[in-house]
Chains A and B, each alone.
Chain A
Amino acid sequence: MQGIGADSEFSWIINLAFFAFIIIFSLYGAKFQIWQWLKQIEAGLIELKKMALESRETAIETFKRYGKGDEEVAKELDRWLDYFTIMPVDLDPAGILKRLDHLLDERRDRFQEFVTDLAPEASQAELQTLENTLEVTQVLSLVFRIVRHYYILGKKTNSQLIIMQVQMQLPDILLLAKAYFDSLDAFSEGKPIGDGIGPLVVTRFAREYGATPDSYITEISREVGYYPVEVEGRTVYALRATGPGGTVGKPGLAVKTLVEQNKGRIARIITVDAALKLEGEELGRVSEGTGAAIGDLGPEKHAMEQAATENNIGIEAIVIKENEAAAVGVMDKKILDAVPEVIERIRTAILKRTKPGDKIILAGIGNTIGIGL
């Protein structure tokens, strides 16, 4: 029996190449893979950098309209891009929400101060919108810097673990960054976003029962107010943040205040908000459940739950399903079309679960950019 290629004059070369090939790949296959992963991260990083830079440009262009010069805006903005908030210590959890609430208030104060300084000629609503623009720019800059950190760190330490993790998470990160990048168009122009469906539903509902922009009672808590309306013999406090500037306000605190002002007379709290949809679910689908529908870091939701529990008030939620891109991007037609159904469900909830003479809080949670009172 002949060996492989034994009758060819140069067969030993091929043979050698074949075995060398196998040996090289079994020894350096992983290195080759890492190299490939790094290339993929690099491509993503370029994309992220592009988004971060372009959003910074947009922010500068937007701020420039309100009185300050190009250079000054750019300089101040760069100083602000890595503004951070240190989360409160959770080793001693007692009172952590209070501390977090305090920090978040302080953070908002600083943001407002900064925006007011940088855009002296902007109106109140425009200032809120500028604040949103600034936040998006910040997020994009942060995402870019974090991914870059792990990319460089992975390269430096040649750590397969670090590189693999970044490479695997990259598609998700890119999707999120893209959603925020697209939202900049909405924020810089003052267009309504998908997250604003809560306040919109509440206003539409209140208007059906005779509310007007003038009947809106402002500042029951920071940037939140309500329309008092009569619905089938019940008093409904239709609560939302003040628009059409971009703000979510402090709706949890507002609910708490309203409950305290009407001690023992509130019969039900209904919250309306946008919720993340599962892949495969329809955009703009309405669903309902129990609990406080609000996606803050904790203090607002806690205030609502606390007020409901202490006073034994039923609390229910009606949500409109959206994906990340639709929630922070310009309002989608499908989401807008869900409004009548949500209003119908609110009406059903009120008629079925409360009786005439009751007082009800209807809280529309979400960013009010582009949504008038």
Chain B
Amino acid sequence: MGVISKLLGIVLVVGGGIMFFLGSSDQNMNIIYYFLGLTIMAMGFSLLTAGGKKEEKPNPPTVTEIACDNPECTFKEIRDFQKGDFILKSLETKCPKCQGSMTIQGVYMVREEEPVPTV
């Protein structure tokens, strides 16, 4: 169905376009060709644009942000989300810098920015 209507759309647009631009050798017929060509082209375009699908973008990956509990230590790590991670979970692994305890401070996704409105 999709392919057929697309093909029909192309045929109509091209056919209408030819009628519209070339017209007739007969001066009087030109006006009819003009309107007819325009209408046929419009039909073709509406067939072409109907149900047009955009390419689906996959969601960005979810990441887990881990930080050392020691306020003096600045260790921070961002890795892929693993099942069982949750925000404020205390981890068993020790901080590689100061051997202190570590906590998950964030589980999040960085989505594409929405376009900034111009008004």
- Residues of chain A having any CB pair with chain B under 8 Å: 2-8, 11, 14-15, 17-18, 21, 25, 36, 39-40, 43, 182, 185, 189-192, 196, 200, 203-204, 207, 243-244, 280, 283, 326, 329-333, 335-336, 370-373
Contact partner, A21, options B36, B53, B83, B86, Cβ 8 Å = B36
What's the nearest-Cβ distance from chain A to residue B42, in Å?
A: 11
Q: Which residue of A lies closest to B88 (CB)?
A: A372
Compute how far the CA of A31 lies from the CA of B48 in the bound complex, rounded to whole angstroms: 19
A-B contact count (CB 8 A): 103
Interface residues of B (CB under 8 A from A): 26, 28-29, 31-32, 35-36, 39, 46, 50-51, 53, 59, 62, 81, 83-89, 104, 106-111, 114, 117
Q: Can you name 16 A-B pairs with beta carbons within 8 Å?
A: A7-B28, A8-B26, A11-B29, A185-B59, A189-B62, A190-B84, A191-B81, A191-B85, A200-B88, A203-B88, A204-B88, A331-B108, A331-B109, A333-B108, A336-B106, A372-B87
Cβ of A63 to closest chain B Cβ, rounded Å: 15
Q: Which of A18, A36, A39 contacts B32 (CB 8 A)?
A: A18
Contact of A6 among B28, B39, B81, B86 (CB under 8 A): B28
Q: Are B86 and A372 in contact (CB under 8 A)?
A: yes
A25 smallest CB distance to B (angstroms): 8
Cβ-closest chain A residue relative to B83: A189
- Taking CB atoms, residues of chain A closer than 8 Å to B85 are 191, 370
CA distance in complex: A243, B114 (Å):
31
Chain B min CB distance to A191 (Å): 6
Query: For the complex, what is the distance from the CA of A335 to the CA of B107, rounded to whole Å?
Result: 11
Residues in B whose Cβ lies below 8 Å from that of A329:
59, 109
Q: Knowing A4-B31, A182-B59 touch, does A373 contact B88 (C-beta < 8 A)?
A: yes
A104 vs chain B, min Cβ distance (A): 26
Chain A residues whose C-beta falls within 8 Å of the C-beta of B32 in the assembled complex: 4-5, 14-15, 18
Complexed CA–CA distance, A326 and B89 (Å): 22
Given contacts A189-B81, A330-B108, contact A4 B28 (CB under 8 A): yes
- In the bound complex, do residue A2 and residue B28 qualify as a contact, i.e. CB atoms below 8 Å apart? yes
A27 to chain B, nearest CB (A): 15
Write the nearest CB–CB distance from B5 to chain A, whole angstroms.
8
